[in-house]
Amino acid sequence: MTVLLNFSHPLTPDHLRQIEALAGQKIERVVEIHSQIDPQQPLAPQVVALADATGLSPAEWQSASLLINPPSLNFIAVALTAELHGRCGYFPAMLRTRPVPGVVPPRYEVAEIVNLQVLREEARKRRCPSSNTSS
């Protein structure tokens, strides 16, 4: 079962078709989480609240196939990625969207699914090129 955690703008049926085509699997559930924060308050507890707002159980965090549409604000996205890694035990895959060129009003399309865990594993090889051990 693939669960899409959407911390960004609402996704259209066309977006969901694009995502399923890229992922090669059906999205079973979309969980919409509004990622507004109070900039006057500490970030970490607010990010924990965003992850809690998904309603996922501890077992789902560790067993469900998760796909993330991250928040647009960079520091929320980075902190949330760390929180989700802690809950899942790995980096979940994420969506990357991009503007559709030449359309008015602006519209976005799904550009790719980025497997963050693979990115991490490849980066580990560059950290210590003489050894191919992974951890």
pLDDT tens per residue, range 113-134:
999 999 999 998 998 766 555 5
Q: What is the pLDDT of residue 135?
A: 58
Residue boundaries of the structural domains of the chain: 2-127
At which residue do the structure tokens 């609402």 appear? 10
CATH number at 2-127:
3.40.50
pTM: 0.89
Q: Which two tokens stand for residue 132?
A: 């191919």
Ranges in the chain, pLDDT < 70: 129-135
Q: Strands 93-99 and 65-69, how do they pair?
A: parallel
Name the E strands within 1-132. Answer: 2-6, 27-32, 65-69, 93-99, 108-114
